[in-house]
Amino acid sequence: MAAPPFTIDVTGLNKHFGDKHVVKDLTLQVRAGEIFGFLGPNGSGKTTSIRLICGLLTPDSGQGTCLGLDVRSESAAIKRQVGYMTQRFSLWEDLTIAENLDFVARMFGMANRRAAVDQALADLGLTSRRDQVAGTLSGGWKQRLALASCLLHRPRLLLLDEPTAGVDPKARRDFWEEIHRLSAAGITVLVSTHYMDEAERCHRLAYIAYGRLLAAGTADDIVASQRLHTWEIGGDGQPGLAEELRRLPGADLVASFGTTLHVSGRDRGLLEAGLRAYVHGTALRMRSVPPSLEDAFIHLMQGTRDQFEA
């Protein structure tokens, strides 16, 4: 039998918790071996969406498949082929690295546990630390251990829920190198993140705000979809500069980037004229720059409303 064209193919998924509509008509397709990123504000439904499309939660309505299996009726079979890494370290702090992995291997009922643990230790660079107690590890090493535990049973799909929160930049970079290695080996990866540099490492992205999918595609696709024109404003500005720029005609978005401001809008002519008039005769300088992924996401957020607000 030929493999399905998509690892994930879902249509119209909905989920309520009480009277809160947390995921609204989610439709999504993810290819095998793809690194697919989920972005959005806290409480936007990213984690719930990931769990729905992988059979870890049952949708109220909608349909689809994950790994060729029905997300509603074959969720148990899906779970056996999924590795799930939560944001918070969830292994046993009083066990060593090797003991943690052996315990997880026993939970999966794996044959040749010792060989599987040794291979996981080697794959994630943990062999020299195998006897170190997990509670004494730094954030980066805990992250490696958590990933090793997710990979023990050789999953075809990996779910990562904000996996690099609280780790240093080098650990983040090393982690993403490992994720790309796994992707190249054919493992599909779904990852939620708040970091724009991590989002740009994904093959494709989905942006979810308060239960709704607002945009999906490559980073370039999403930036282009917003049709923004952006200028960088630098120099010695006065207090309240951002607020003043927000009042200019055509200024849809003003965001701080280090010591400069990015001013973006869809009407290029209107915004450029207003900015040139504003900076004329001041110490400010302006230059046109390509809109960034962060510009696009901030723009997407405008006009969305948190369904949990009173």
pLDDT digits (tens, 9 = 90+) for 74-128: 999 998 899 988 877 778 989 999 999 999 999 888 888 899 999 999 988 899 9
- Looking at the structure, tell me whether residues 217 and 231 fall in a common domain: no
Q: Is the dihedral of CA 132, 166, 260, 291 positive or negative?
A: positive
Q: Domain containing 243: what range? A: 227-290
Closest CA to 164 of 75, 92, 86: 86
pLDDT score for 90: 77
Residue 264 lies in a domain: yes
Contact, 257 vs 242, CB < 8 A?
no
Q: What are phi and psi of 115, to 5 degrees?
A: -65, -40
Is position 33 within any domain? yes
Q: Is the domain of 123 the same as that of 239? A: no
Q: What is the CATH number of the domain that holds 249?
A: 3.30.70.100
- CA-CA distance, 5 to 150, in Å (whole number)? 25
Domain annotation covers residue 258: yes
Quote the pLDDT of residue 173: 87
Mean pLDDT of the chain: 89
Residues 166, 265, single domain; the answer is: no
- Predicted confidence at residue 201, as pLDDT, reads 92
Of the residues 184, 205, 222, the one at which a domain ends: 222
Tens of pLDDT, residues 153-170: 889 999 998 888 777 788
The order of strands in the sheet holding 188-192 is 82-85, 157-161, 188-192, 35-39, 204-209, 212-217
Shared-domain flag, residues 46 and 190 = yes
Whether residue 87 is found in the same domain as residue 71 = yes
> Tell me, what DSSP letter sits at residue 225?
H
Residue 210 domain-assigned? yes
Residue 305 lies in a domain: no
Whether the pLDDT of residue 9 is over 50: the answer is yes
Please indicate, yes or no, whether residues 248 and 261 belong to a single structural domain of this protein.
yes
pLDDT digits (tens, 9 = 90+) for 170-185: 888 888 998 999 999 9
Which of 222, 256, 274 delimits the end of a domain? 222
pLDDT at 111: 83
Contact 149, 82 (CB under 8 A): no
pLDDT category of residue 71 using cuts at 50, 70 and 90: very high
Q: What is the pLDDT of residue 3?
A: 57
Q: What was the pLDDT predicted at 2?
A: 54
**pLDDT attached to residue 222:** 94
**∠ CA 28-33-38 to the nearest 5 degrees?**
45
53-67 average pLDDT score: 91
What CATH number is given to the structural domain containing 66? 3.40.50.300
301 within a domain of the structure (yes/no):
no
More confident: 259 or 30: 30
Q: Give the type of residue at 256.
A: S
Do 133 and 244 reside in the same domain of the chain?
A: no
In a domain, 100, yes or no: yes
Q: Is residue 165 part of a domain?
A: yes
Between the alpha carbon of residue 267 and those of residues 114, 223, 232, 263, the distances in Å are 63, 16, 16, 12
Q: Which amino acid is at 87?
A: Q
Residue 310: pLDDT band (50, 70, 90) is very low
Is pLDDT of 307 > 60?
Answer: no
Task: Give the pLDDT mean for 12-36.
Answer: 93
Phi, psi of 71, rounded to the nearest 5 degrees: -70, -20
pLDDT digits (tens, 9 = 90+) for 227-284: 999 999 998 766 789 999 999 999 999 988 888 999 999 999 999 999 999 999 899 9
Assess whether 47 and 114 both reside in one domain.
yes
Last residue of a domain, one of 222, 245, 267: 222
Q: Tell whether 204 and 262 lie within a shared domain.
A: no
Angstrom distance (rounded) from CA 160 to CA 47: 9
Residues 122 and 246 reside in one and the same domain? no
Q: How confident is the model at residue 16 (pLDDT cuts 50, 70, 90)?
A: very high
How far apart (Å, rounded) are the C-alpha atoms in residues 119 and 174? 19
**pTM score of the predicted model:** 0.86
Question: What local confidence, expressed as pLDDT, does residue 275 receive?
Answer: 96
Specify the pLDDT at position 210. Answer: 83
Residue type present at position 82: V
What's the number of domains the chain is made of? Answer: 2
| Residue whose structure tokens are 């917003």 | 226
| Full DSSP string of 236-258 | SPPTTHHHHHHTSTT--EEEEET
169 and 78 belong to one structural domain: yes
For residues 117 and 121, what is the distance between their CA atoms, to the nearest angstrom? 6
* Region of 62 on the Ramachandran plot (φ > 0 left; ψ -120 to 50 alpha; else beta): left
Residue 202: pLDDT above 50? yes
pLDDT of residue 4: 61
**Do 236 and 113 have their domain in common?**
no
